[in-house]
Structure formats: structure tokens, C-alpha cells
Amino acid sequence: MSQSNSAAGVRSGKIQWVPLESSPEAMNRVIYRLGVEDSVGFSDVLGLDEELLTMVAQPVNALVFLFPLTDKFEEGRKQEATSSSNSVSPKVWFMQQTIGNACGTMAIFHAMANNQQNLPIGGEMAAFFERTKDMTPDERAADLEKDSAVAVAHKEGAAEGQTAAPKPGEDVNHHYSAFACIDGHLYELDGRLPAPINHGPSVDVLKDGARVIRQRIQSFADDSLAFSVISLGPSSDDDDY
């Protein structure tokens, strides 16, 4: 499994977490620790072609995409996020990332927060969303830095991985973003970016998110690079936490 990194490009180098492994088990450990009911959870997306997408449990609420960090790819996404044509609905919940190696939990929070009306969220996660609902993205980031419950849940999720976890702040080269349909549009949500990216009208995050992710992967033109996609939806029957 690949590890994620968000140490480069975050606005504060003061706090460093251990990267979260790209696995549903690790992500589910985080959300269940924070009070999400286990009727929903994260699951692997085995492929992005139409046949494999039919195997994904429905309804899909969001997608999480793990990809390698490159300067060219990041610069392209920053241009999209700052473009005058990138219109963002006020209904989008967004948070900047200021904690190094927190991108896995950031993607989880973006996926969950933008589906609050559809998901059984309780406990510490519900409390965080309620407390920060009227905050700016930067204010939410500052609040997260002080949230010990989220830090503990992330640490437990990082320990869930099948590979040895890097040390906090260790240089690894993968990153997470989330995709969700909000107010009739598909958004790419990544706290490293200055704003969410609007990918156009959509009410099907699985179909349209997979299309955008395929385009993202093709832009790398390197078959040796590692990518993964995880869906948020109904828990699979064999989940056991």
C-alpha cells in the first residue's frame, strides 16, 4: 500500500502526523473512532472502467483519490483552483491543510462534511462539524490543530496499515484528495489548494469522479506510478471493526 504525504505546501510546519495508509481499513478506523456509525464506510474501488464501477456498493457519497505529488501536476491544479471560471458554491464545506501528513484525514473530513445530511455522523466528528460550521477554511484548520480527539483517531488509523508507518514528518510522495457532488456540481477537495475545484454539473460522484480521476492519471503519462481510489458508501458485509 502507498503512503500519503502533505508536508510540502502546507502553511504550518509546526505539527506533523504519521501518514495514513491508502486502505479502507485505516480510513474506517478513523471515522468509527470519531463517532460515525458502521453502517457506512470506505471501500476499495478496484478499477475505473464501467464494468468494475458496477461492483462498487451504492449509493456512493464520495471518492478519495491517492496520487503521486509532482510539481507539474500541483501547478496545474493550482491554476484550476484559482481560475476566474472556477465557481464554488457557498454550500461547499472546505478546510485548508496546515498539518503535515494529515492529507488522509483531510480527505476523510472533506468527504464526510459534504455529505452530512446523508450519513450517520455522531461523536467527535459531528461536534467538530457543528463547532466549525460558520468558520472560514483557515479557521477550521486552526481548530483542527487543537483537536486532540482527531489527532488520536488519525494516529490509530495510521497504525492500522499493513505496511510499516513512516515517522511523523518523514518525506513520502503521495497525497490524497476527495471528490463529492455538492449543489449539483462535482468538486475536487484538497486542503493544499487555495479553493475547491469545480468539475462541472453532476449528481453521480462515482461516474463523474471516475472520469476526472482517469483524466488526472492519464496526465502523468507514467505507468509505473501508484494510484488508488476508495469510495465512501455502505459498509461491505465483511467489515469488522
- 181 tagged catalytic: no
Strand, coil or helix: what is 73? Answer: helix
Among 175, 181, 185, 199, the one annotated catalytic: 175
The residues, ordered by sequence, that sit 6+ positions from 91 with a Cβ below 8 Å of its Cβ are: 182, 183
Write the CA distances from 2 to 162, 202, 233, integer angstroms: 10, 29, 22
Q: Could you give the CA distance from residue 108 to residue 180 in angstroms, rounded to a whole number?
A: 11
Give buried/exposed letters for 52-72 (b at 16+ CB in 10 A, else e): ebeebeeebbbbbbbbbbeee
Q: Is 175 designated active site?
A: yes
* The C-alpha cell that represents 110 in the structure block: 472533506
Residues labelled as active-site residues = 103, 175
